Amino acid sequence: MKPEEKTANKALEEAIIRRYRQYLSLEKGLSANTQEAYMTDLSKLLHFLRSEHIGTREVTHEDLQLFIAGLHDIGIHPRSQARILSGIKSFFNFLLLEDYITKDPAELIESPKIGMKLPEVLTVEEIDLIIATVDMEKSEGQRNRAILETLYSCGLRVSELCELKLSDLYFSEGFIKVEGKGGKQRLVPISRRAIKEIEYWLMDRCHWRVKPDYEDHVFLARWGKAISRIMIFRLIKELAEKAGITKNISPHTFRHSFATHLLEGGANLRAIQCMLGHESITTTEIYTHIDRHMLRSEIIEHHPRNIKYREKKRFH
C-alpha cells in the first residue's frame, strides 16, 4: 500500500471512530461514563486489528473469533468478555447503519456463558457500623455521613450521587430528583434520617469555598469541585476496613442492600424497579434470588395451599 493510501485510510478510520462516539452520545443518548466504557472496550479490538494489519471495514467473523479467543487466553473473566462483545456488536451495527460495511461480522458471534453472581449485601447493622465509623472531628465528617446515608436511603448509583444538585432536593415533599443512565430522570423517596444528615452537611457546606460551576452540587470535594466516584470508593473501602467488615464492598453495595432490604420488608418489585431506575424488570429480579429462605417462608405463610395444609394439621 502506498504511503498516501495509508494516510488516507488512517484518516478515515479516525473519522469513523469520532463519528461512532457522536452516535453513542447523540443517537443512543448514552451517558459520558457509558460512552467511555464503550470506547475503552472498543480500543481493545482496535489494538488487536492494528497488530494484525486489519482495517475496521475488513473485519471478518473469523477475525472476531480470534480476538475473543485471545481475551479468554489472557484470563479476562467471561462477564467482562460479554461486556466487551456487547460494545463490539454495537460498533459493527453502527458501521452497518452508516453503510461503511455491507455485512455484520459480529452478527453470529455468541456471548460466553455467565453464571449468576449474586451481589454482596450488607446487613442494617453493618451499614450502621460503617456510618458510625465516620470521623466527625474532620471537616468532611458530616459530608461523609450524609453521603453514606443518601446512598443507602435512596439506592443511588455512585454517579447519580456525585451529580446530585441542590435544585434536585424536594425535602418538604420527601423526594429527590435523580438523573440516571441515558439522562432519564426519576423521583426517589428519601428518608427523614437522610434529609437530616444532608441538612447538617449543608450547614457545614456554607463555610466551604465552592469553585465556579459547582455551586449547585450537593456533595463537594475539599477543593470545591463535585466529589468524584473514586473518592467515594476509597471512602467506603477505608470505613469498612476500619469497621472490621471483611466483605468486598463498594458504593454499589449500598444500592444492592437498599433493594434487598426493601424486598425483605415486603416492597413490590415494580416499586423497587422504579426507585432504582432499572429500565427492565429483569434487572431488578436479581434481588429475588438473594434471600431464598425469606421468600420460601413468605410462600409457606401466605400461599392458599399451605394455609389449607396448616389448617388440616391443626384439626387432626
Give the active site residues. 157, 181, 252, 255, 278, 287
Among residues 219, 215, 161, which one has the least CA distance to residue 188?
A: 161
- Greatest alpha-carbon span in the chain: 94
Residues 6+ apart with CB under 8 A from 199: 171
Q: Which residues of 74-93 are buried (b: 16+ CB within 10 A; e: fewer)?
A: eebeeeebebbbebbbbbbe
C-alpha cell at 178: 435523580
Q: What are phi and psi of 258, to 5 degrees?
A: -55, -50
Q: How far apart are alpha carbons 211 and 188 in whole angstroms?
A: 28
Write down the residue that cell numbers 422504579 correspond to: 274
| 52-to-48, 55, 66, 156, 209 alpha-carbon distances in Å | 6, 9, 11, 43, 52
What's the one-letter identity of residue 282?
T
C-alpha cell at 110: 455468541
The DSSP secondary-structure symbol of 138 reads S
Residues 6+ apart with CB under 8 A from 130: 122, 148, 236, 239, 240, 243, 245
Q: How far apart are alpha carbons 104 and 82 in whole angstroms?
A: 18
Q: What are phi and psi of 103, to 5 degrees?
A: -140, 135
Task: Tell me the pairing of strands 185-189 and 175-179.
Answer: antiparallel
**CA atoms within 13 A of residue 139's CA, in its CB half-sphere:** 9
